[in-house]
Amino acid sequence: MTIALVFLAIIMATALGWLVRQTLNTQPWNANDPVENQPGRGVLNIDPAKIGLLSFIAVVTSLFALFLSAYMMRMKLGDWRPLPEPDLLWANTAILVLASFAFQLTRNAATRGRQAAMKIWLLVGGVCTALFLLGQLVAWQQLSTGGYLITGNPANAFFYLLTALHGLHLLGGMWVWGRTTARVLSGADVESVRLSVELCTIYWHYLLLVWVGLFGLLLST
């Protein structure tokens, strides 16, 4: 339970810190229009889509925290037998780090109006994410071949559950990535996709943080 609460606190602190930085970086005296004349924006001059994403992240974080609490309580029972984590998970983690880094470079390119660089790094981020998901499926196959079936032990079930839950959230992000990439490849200007790119970047950074927390827990238990 303690680890789950710490996990939740870290994620929420990260999200809150980002929100505060966005607020402090806003300089209304340099804006072309006052906040009240900008449709869809509130007092903090933050796009509603960003607030929506942060709200979604808060919900997802609570979901993961609940599962981690159940994980910590269940492992204390006598029938819990930890399974050996495939070495492939280390490579998958490195690939997800590269995906997050690629999305950060995509955001930087979009901010600077560099459409060609934005297109390249957007594709790299998507490809790396697809490789991560494929690697997770291969890791599942390795465990299944080794006899670590989902029904064999509670530890096995939790491993498949947590990694699947994380993968499903990445797949949801890939849907948004696909729509954004299609717009970029069809010739959309940088300004029209800048917000989508920024939201993808935030989401990928968040899921990387979640995976690092999950992977660390799985390795330590």
Q: What is the pLDDT of residues 154-209, one digit of tens each?
A: 888 999 999 999 999 999 999 999 999 999 999 888 888 999 999 999 999 999 99
Q: Which residues of 98-118 are buried (b: 16+ CB within 10 A; e: fewer)?
A: bbbbbbebbbebbeeebbeeb
* pLDDT above 60 (res 44): no
Q: Phi then psi for 140, rounded to 5 degrees?
A: -60, -45
pLDDT bucket at 9, cuts 50 / 70 / 90: low
Q: What is the reported pTM?
A: 0.80
Q: Which of residues 9 and 97 earns the better pLDDT score?
A: 97
Residues 6+ apart with CB under 8 A from 198: 50, 107, 110
pLDDT bucket at 105, cuts 50 / 70 / 90: very high
CA 11 vs CA 54, 62, 180, 198: distances in Å: 11, 10, 26, 18
Residues 9 and 159: their CA atoms lie apart, in Å, by 23
Q: Which of residues 198 and 43 earns the better pLDDT score?
A: 198
- Predicted pLDDT of residue 19: 46
